[in-house]
Structure 1
Amino acid sequence: MIRKKLFNKIFSLLILFVFVNGLNASNGKILLEAKVDRTNIKIGDLINYSIIVTRDKDIKIEMPDLGANLGAFEIHDYEDLEPEKKNGEVVQLRHYIISTYDIGDYEIQPVTVHYSLPNDTLWKELTTESIKITVESLKPSEEGDIRDIKAPLEILKDWWLTIRFIIAGVIIVLIGILIYILYKRRKEGKSLIPRREKPKLPPHIIALDELKKLMDDNLLEKREIKQYYIRLSEIIRNYIEDRFFIVALEMTTFQLIGIMKENQVEDEIVQLVEKFLMNCDMVKFAKYIPRKKENKSTTELAYKIIEDTKIELEPEPDNGEDAENLNPENVDDVGKEEADTSEALELETAVEKGKGGADA
């Protein structure tokens, strides 16, 4: 609530620089705006940056990842507001507080929103314009202290010719090594492109083991937060590959969520995965520094995704010994023996489950 009041107060007092892109059509209207409260700042100053989508209520949209690439700018805080209805239209806002600590002219990169018009299954794109920001030094007098760079050293022609021959030789050697590797793999009947081997253990066992190793490394205590989120994201993406047979490691969050929906994965699971990956993307790509409770909630999401989607297969009984003892003289007793064996297996399973509950 405090954060929301802060944003409303800032944006009601400052003049906004607005960059608009939109579409008006017979079957719908959608307008995309990107706003900043200033385009000239001193080094370290905060910029209020907003993305606003105004659309007809029948138009579906996919907002960009919270970890959208903002170029040289770091995200200090953000807020994703609930959609509001105004004059028969839906307005959706996302606010960022960003800054940079380098002097010069920079651009806030364009942001893309995906949308789908009524009675149209094809998703289209609407992209904002880039926003130019000038960052000035706190001490204008420092500009006079900048000295000209030294002239580049001139490489003698004979040396330059030698360097070119060395580079050409290295390239030829690398090509030779590549051809040898491809030939050897083809001769051994292996794929030219190494493929990931099918896991020998169930996907959830592998994922839980990797999570335990991650926890034992204590990266959060060491303040290696970005590395923690990179590994955490890779563990869940690997799990999704093995569990749902989706090439998750090679997809963006938006692409992966779209494929999971196409494969008719349960909506609750898709929402869990989307929330988890967006939290990871904020740290990996937007330089966002999460709080301790955010670290805990994101880690709990990883465990919940595995717990809610794991598949446990019970081992099948071994009937090999019964088959060996089968002979023409006791064919009439086969049905009775199979029934007795089935009852014994059910009883054994019930006992094992009872022991498991007691141990827990």
Structure 2
Amino acid sequence: MRRLKIIIILLMCLSVHAHSQVVVEQRLDSMEMFIGEQVHLTLSVTAKSGQRVEFPAVKAGTYLLDGIELLEVADADTVKQDNGMQKISRKYTLTSFDDTLYYLPPVTVKVDGKPYQSKSLALKVITVEVDTLKKDEFFPAKGIQDNPFMWSDWTPIIWQILLVILLSAVGYYLYKRLRSNKPIIKRIKVVKKMLPHQKALKEIERIKSEKMTSSEDQKAYYTQLTDTLRTYLQDRFGINAMEMTSGEIIDRLRQEEDKEKLGELRELFETADLVKFAKYSALINENDRNLTTVVAFINDTKMEDMPTEEKIVPKFTEEEKRNNLSHKVLLSLIAVVALCAALLFAYIIWQVVLLIG
């Protein structure tokens, strides 16, 4: 029984000794500070290695107590010591804007769930006496400072300017190509034209004025007379009279005119064929009669209400079409390049204004 009591007493002594090995302390790197300055509070716990240490749960940006603001909470720092001990420290950054003497109460730290307290501290915050009448003597007003030049701010703008220059060069090259590749322009023309009978009668007047009816060159006379009639038939009736024989023309006109008129025209064509191909010599009165027959036929068959204007639609060759297409492509590319360069230049100006402003 006596031995049991002795063992219990020894265990209690060891327990008290173990508890006494836990040391909690807090210290300030300065007991005084000016308003707005910062001071560091270091909270240290010395305990056996392996013991669980719990620091107070405080956050930066809060007030440690009324008038003392906690700016920063550093991570815990552990230092191994002899005899299986360790020292764990955590630093707190404090500041204050009230000139007074602050009482910092003891801080409670838990080691293996058991609370331990540090000693209390005092922190004096003092103000700076300023002579408002001579404030410029100590802290003169500073001039306006320019922002430092940073190449990193201007590098994107420089590359964009180079891109604008490149686009401008491409646009100029395309413009030169465009000038050397002018489009072929053919416009629809509206021309005045004489009515078929007007053109034929005008040609008849020319034949008369040249007195070809009495000319010895009857072949030339009948050639011009029949050509005038053939042209009139082609323009008036739409038949290809210039490529048809006399008989074919008569057969074609049989659907349009009476037999009496066609008989007179047949005689004209027969006489003309004899003169041109059989060296037949017609009499002067025969020449006059044939001329009168043509004039009468024209006057009997003329149409006054035919259109007097003709649209001439131009036709392009394949090479001309390719040339015009190439011109349009170049023009479109120049427009796209110019638009991109203008937009990029405006964007560069906007960035420069932001940087300078």
Report the TM-score, using the length of structure 2 for normalisation: 0.31
- Relative contact order higher in (CA < 8 Å, ≥ 6 apart): 2
Specify the structure having the higher radius of gyration (Cα).
Answer: 2
